[in-house]
Amino acid sequence: MGLPAVLLGVGVAAAEPVADKFGSFTTDDGWVVNVFKTDEKLDRWPNLAATAYTREGFYSVKGAVSIEGEGRAPVNAAAVQIGLQLGCQIDVSTGLTAGLGLNVGVNGVVTVSQYPSGLVGGNAGVNPSVSGTLKPGGITQLVLGAKSLNGAYGSIATREAEMKVDACGGPVSVRSVVTVSLATPTSTDSFSVYGDPVYL
């Protein structure tokens, strides 16, 4: 850190790469499905508001799936989704008392409604922000994006997306989730791989 940063009390970003994760399962039809969570990184930055109860950083993650083997029935649809689980220990949205919850935002990412109630189609919507509400001691899951597979492999990634949590008086925990959904004429499966928790 240079002298001007020391004099001004400016924080330095802390990049934290997160371990890759892998999972695999075999469907009742005989397809082998591999799920990958890779390239996850969280860069923490001092928040622009310079408050004690706002956390800010830039987040990257990639989810991928491959389908192998000789299944007894064709794959009608498959999709891969990336998401986040976020938790806050203490809510200070109304001062120093727990109660009403807080705002969470992740900006600049592709967002698609959650499935497998209907597997994601080819047109993914683009929205500049995703928001949710956290309660003290609770966990909220946000969907960052999803992609349907047109073949045996597909991936989706977000890079350097802004992440901001307001009104949190304790640690903000972040855990990534990569989920695959797959359907054949005789079975429907879903499977998730989870990243290691990190703190914003």
Instruction: Locate the domains of the chain by residue range.
Output: 14-199
Length of the chain, in residues: 200
pLDDT in tens, 91-141: 545 433 222 334 444 443 322 333 333 343 333 333 333 334 455 566 777
Least confident interval from 14-23, 32-41, 85-94, 189-198: 85-94
Whole-angstrom Cα distance, residue 182 to residue 167?
39
Kindly report the pTM of this predicted structure: 0.74
Phi, psi of 37 (to 5 degrees): -120, 115
Mean pLDDT, to the nearest integer, of 66-95?
82
pLDDT at residue 28, rounded to an integer: 94
Give the separation between CA 58 and CA 109, rounded to whole angstroms: 12
* CA gap 78, 183 in Å, rounded: 6
- Spatial neighbors of 15 by CB under 8 A, at least 6 apart, are 41, 42, 43, 44
Q: Average pLDDT, stretch 164-189?
A: 88
Q: What is the CATH number of domain 14-199?
A: 2.60.40.1650
Residues in contact with 96: Cβ distance below 8 Å, sequence separation at least 6, in sequence order: 169
